[in-house]
């Protein structure tokens, strides 16, 4: 992962939440919230919370006496998440924090959850050890990662479209980072090396649905860090690159409402 792959700023948080969350994150946020709530945790930490898709799904399922600390490395993403939460909830604390250096005491939480953030950790070994450190005995680390890009059709379509536009230096953010940590054996080894036990990994396919091909084109090209890669290659090319990605998706999936497969791994590791 490149250093630039960690910086969600500018208009990206809003575009990410408006386009990416309904396109690919909401179904998995509901699954994460359901699994998290089934453990009946009283002290919850969420890392790499992004714009709060899991937070919005999980908070209503927690008990009135629960505490829920929501963190992200990027303050703009966290600010946007807090603004989207709706009515004030005294159980929730919003805090900027690095998952590799958590500012919390040992054995402070029953559950650490993280939806689609582990792929962005510069050193997953450290991040996993930190998650284990702050968990109580018997606590659980619940997180998800995307499967390989070929199993996530719209992301693959956009990546291939941009490789046509920039054949000598194709933007590879989606394949490199969001879809770059999908080997289940590696994930299991990483967790066991950090001291976790009873690791379960479920692979779950969903459908990514959009009202038109424009939606995934804008979502991926302008609502992720792929935007920065496009603009770095040729100033002023973002709009035409988005248009071309839209045309490629339309040619493959149609010009009205469209749907395509997405797939992710959901992992639970115990202390």
Determine the pLDDT at residue 8: 45
Domain-wise residue ranges, the chain: 3-270
Q: In CATH, which superfamily holds the domain spanning 3-270?
A: Vaccinia Virus protein VP39 (3.40.50.150)
Determine the pLDDT at residue 6: 44
Give the pLDDT confidence of 72-97 residue by residue, as tens digits: 998 988 999 999 887 889 999 999 99
The residue-averaged pLDDT of 6-10 equals 46
Give the pLDDT confidence of 47-69 residue by residue, as tens digits: 999 999 999 999 999 999 999 99
Query: What does the chain look like in DSSP terms, one character per residue?
Result: --GGGG---TTHHHHIIIIIIIIIIHHHHHHHHHHHHHT--SEEEE-S-TTSHHHHHHGGGS-TT-EEEEEES-HHHHHHHHHHS-S--TTEEEEE--TTS--S-TT-EEEEEEES-GGG-S-HHHHHHHHHHHEEEEEEEEEEEE--GGGSHHHHHHHHHHHHHSTTS---HHHHTTTS---HHHHHHHHHHTT-EEEEEEEEEEEEEESSTHHHHHHHHHSSTHHHHHHHHSTT-HHHHHHHHHHHHHHHH-SSSEEEEEEEEEEEEE-
Q: Is 128 left (phi over 0), alpha (psi -120 to 50) or beta?
A: alpha
* Count of residues making up the chain: 271
Kindly give the pairing relationship between strand 135-146 and strand 258-270: antiparallel
Give the pLDDT confidence of 137-159 residue by residue, as tens digits: 999 999 999 999 999 999 999 99
Rounded to whole angstroms, the Cα distance separating 123 from 149 reads 21
Rounded to whole angstroms, the Cα distance separating 157 from 245 reads 8
pLDDT above 90: residue 128 = yes
Determine the pLDDT at residue 224: 87
Give the pLDDT confidence of 231-250 residue by residue, as tens digits: 999 989 999 999 999 999 99
Average pLDDT, rounded, for the chain? 93
Kindly give the pairing relationship between strand 67-72 and strand 92-96: parallel
Cβ neighbour number for residue 209 with a 10 Å cutoff: 16
């Amino acid at each position: 992962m490149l250093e630039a792959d960690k910086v969600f700023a500018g208009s990206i948080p809003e575009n990410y939440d408006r386009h990416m969350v309904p396109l690919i994150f909401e179904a998995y946020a509901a699954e994460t919230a359901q699994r998290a709530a089934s453990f009946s945790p009283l002290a919850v930490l969420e890392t790499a919370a992004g714009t709060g898709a899991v937070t919005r799904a999980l908070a209503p399922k927690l008990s009135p006496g629960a505490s829920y600390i929501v963190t992200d490395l990027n303050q703009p993403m966290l600010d946007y998440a807090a603004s989207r939460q709706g009515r004030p909830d005294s159980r929730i604390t919003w805090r900027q924090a690095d998952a590799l250096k958590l500012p919390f005491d040992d054995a402070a939480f029953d559950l650490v959850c993280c939806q689609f953030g582990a792929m962005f950790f510069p050193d997953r070994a450290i991040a996993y050890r930190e998650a284990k450190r702050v968990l109580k005995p018997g606590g659980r680390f619940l997180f998800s990662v995307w499967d390989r890009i070929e199993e996530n059709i719209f992301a693959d379509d956009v990546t291939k479209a941009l490789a046509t536009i920039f054949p000598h230096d194709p933007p590879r953010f989606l394949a490199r980072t969001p879809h770059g940590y999908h080997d289940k054996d590696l994930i299991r080894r990483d967790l066991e090396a950090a001291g976790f036990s009873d690791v379960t990994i479920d692979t779950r396919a969903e459908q990514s649905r959009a009202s038109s091909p424009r939606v995934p084109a804008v979502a991926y090209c302008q609502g992720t860090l792929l935007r920065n890669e496009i603009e770095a290659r040729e100033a002023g090319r973002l709009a035409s690159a988005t248009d071309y990605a839209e045309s490629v998706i339309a040619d493959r999936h149609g010009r009205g409402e469209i749907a395509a497969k997405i797939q992710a791994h959901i992992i639970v590791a115990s202390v």
